C-alpha cells in the first residue's frame, strides 16, 4: 500500500515569548492513519495539534498539511482549515445557534452550499453521532457528552480530510466518556485520518496505528501501540504509562 503523507512536521519549534513550547518536532501522519498523542500536562500536545490547523503559528522548522506549507497568514490558511476538522476539549459549540444551525453554518457560509444540501449532510451526521432528535435544541440544553458529539458532527459536516481532537473527553463526566469514544471509534472505522490527543488508553489500544509520546515540548517516542503499551522504548514513557494506568 502506498502511503501518502498528509501532515509532515520537520524540526518544528514554537515559542510563547521566551518559553519554548515545542522543540524540534518531527512527525509524519499518513492518509488514513490514526495517531494518538499522549504525554504529561504542559508537554505541548495541544500546541502541536493547534499548529496543524494554524490556530498557532510555529516559529521554526517546516510544517506541511494536506500539501500546503503553513506560514502565518499564508493565503491558503482558510482553505486549509476547511479541510482540517478540530474538536476541542471545551466543545466550543455556538451557544446562540441551534444544534442544526451549528452544523450547517460552516457548510453554508464557508463552503457556500445550499441550505437544503447542508441540512441533509447535517442530519446524516447527527444520525451518525446518535442525536438526531436534538436538532432544534440549543447547546446549553444538551449534556456534555451530547455537546461533544455535536462538536464532532460539526467538524465532519465540513467533509474534512483530517480530524484533530484535543483531549475530547477530558471535560466530561466519567459516565459520558464512553458515548464520545464510541463515536470516535466508529469514525476511525470509516478510514478517517485522525490525530487524537488523549489519555484514554483503552481507546488508543483499539484504534491507534501509531502512538506518540511527548514531554517538555519534544516528541520522545513514536511507536506502534503493541510496542508502546508492552515495551515502551523510553524510560519516560514507561513511567508515564505506569502512572496513568494505575487509576
Partner 1 sequence: MRMAALFTLKRVLNAPAVAVSLYAVIVAAIAWASYTGAQQMGYNWQWYQVPGYIYTFTDDGFQAGEILTGLWATILLSLTCFLLATLLGLGVALLRLSGLIVGRAVAIGYLEFVRNIPLLVLLYLFYYVLGPIFGFDRWAAAVLTLSVYHSALISEIFRAGINSVAVGQWEAAASIGMSRAQAYRYIILPQSVRFMLPPLTGEIVNLIKSSAIVSVIAVAELTTVGRNIISDTYMSFEIWFTVAAVYLALTLVLSFGVSALERRFATET
Ligand X SMILES: Nc1ncnc2c1ncn2[C@@H]1O[C@H](COP(=O)(O)OP(=O)(O)O)[C@@H](O)[C@H]1O
Binding site for partner 1 (CB under 8 A): 53-55, 78-79, 81-82, 84-86, 88, 90, 92-96, 105-106, 109-111, 154-155, 158
Contact 88, 148 (CB under 8 A): no
DSSP reduced 3-state for 51:
helix
Q: How many residues sit close enough to ligand X to count as binding (CB under 6 A)?
A: 11
Contact call for residue 95 and ligand X (CB under 6 A): no
Contact call for residue 46 and Mg ion (CB under 5 A): yes
- Nearest CA among 13, 9, 6, 4 for reference residue 62: 9
Q: Which of 9, 21, 25, 93 binds ligand X (CB under 6 A)?
A: 21
Q: Which does 92 bind (CB under 5 to 8 A by kind): ligand X, Mg ion, partner 1, none?
A: partner 1
* Residues sharing a CB contact under 8 Å with residue 125, sequence separation 6 or more, in sequence order: 103, 153, 156, 157
Contact 163, 155 (CB under 8 A): yes
Contact call for residue 160 and ligand X (CB under 6 A): no
Q: Which does 96 bind (CB under 5 to 8 A by kind): ligand X, Mg ion, partner 1, none?
A: partner 1
Contact 50, 56 (CB under 8 A): yes
The residue whose grid cell reads 465532519 is 156
Which residues on neighbouring strands pair with residue 163, listed in sequence order?
A: 85, 194
Contact call for residue 169 and Mg ion (CB under 5 A): no
Contact call for residue 90 and ligand X (CB under 6 A): no
Q: Which does 145 bind (CB under 5 to 8 A by kind): partner 1, Mg ion, ligand X, none?
A: none
Q: Which of 47, 146, 193, 198 binds ligand X (CB under 6 A)?
A: 47
Angstrom distance (rounded) from CA 235 to CA 32 = 30
Q: Which residues here bind ligand X, judged by CB under 6 A?
A: 16, 19, 21, 39, 41-47
Amino acid at each position: 500500500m502506498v502511503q501518502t503523507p498528509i501532515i509532515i512536521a520537520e524540526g518544528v519549534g514554537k515559542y510563547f515569548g521566551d518559553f519554548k513550547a515545542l522543540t524540534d518536532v518531527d512527525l509524519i501522519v499518513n492518509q488514513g492513519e490514526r495517531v494518538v498523542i499522549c504525554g504529561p500536562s504542559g508537554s505541548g500536545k495541544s500546541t502541536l495539534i493547534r499548529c496543524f490547523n494554524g490556530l498557532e503559528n510555529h516559529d521554526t522548522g517546516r510544517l506541511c498539511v494536506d500539501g500546503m506549507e503553513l506560514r502565518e497568514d499564508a493565503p491558503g490558511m482558510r482553505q486549509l482549515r476547511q479541510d482540517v476538522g478540530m474538536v476541542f476539549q471545551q466543545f466550543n459549540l455556538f451557544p446562540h445557534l441551534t444544534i442544526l444551525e451549528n452544523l450547517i453554518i460552516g457548510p453554508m457560509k464557508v463552503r457556500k452550499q445550499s441550505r437544503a444540501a447542508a441540512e441533509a449532510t447535517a442530519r446524516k451526521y447527527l444520525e451518525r453521532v446518535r442525536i438526531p432528535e436534538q436538532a432544534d435544541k440549543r447547546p446549553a440544553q444538551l449534556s456534555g457528552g451530547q455537546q461533544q458529539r455535536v462538536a464532532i458532527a460539526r467538524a465532519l459536516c465540513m467533509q474534512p480530510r483530517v480530524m484533530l481532537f484535543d483531549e475530547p473527553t477530558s471535560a466530561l463526566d466519567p459516565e459520558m466518556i464512553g458515548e464520545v469514544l464510541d463515536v470516535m471509534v466508529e469514525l476511525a472505522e470509516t478510514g478517517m485520518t485522525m490525530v487524537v490527543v488523549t489519555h484514554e488508553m483503552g481507546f488508543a489500544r483499539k484504534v491507534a496505528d501509531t502512538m506518540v509520546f511527548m514531554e517538555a515540548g519534544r516528541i520522545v517516542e513514536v511507536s506502534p501501540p503493541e510496542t508502546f503499551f508492552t515495551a515502551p522504548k523510553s524510560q519516560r514513557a514507561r513511567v508515564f504509562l505506569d502512572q496513568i494506568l494505575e487509576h
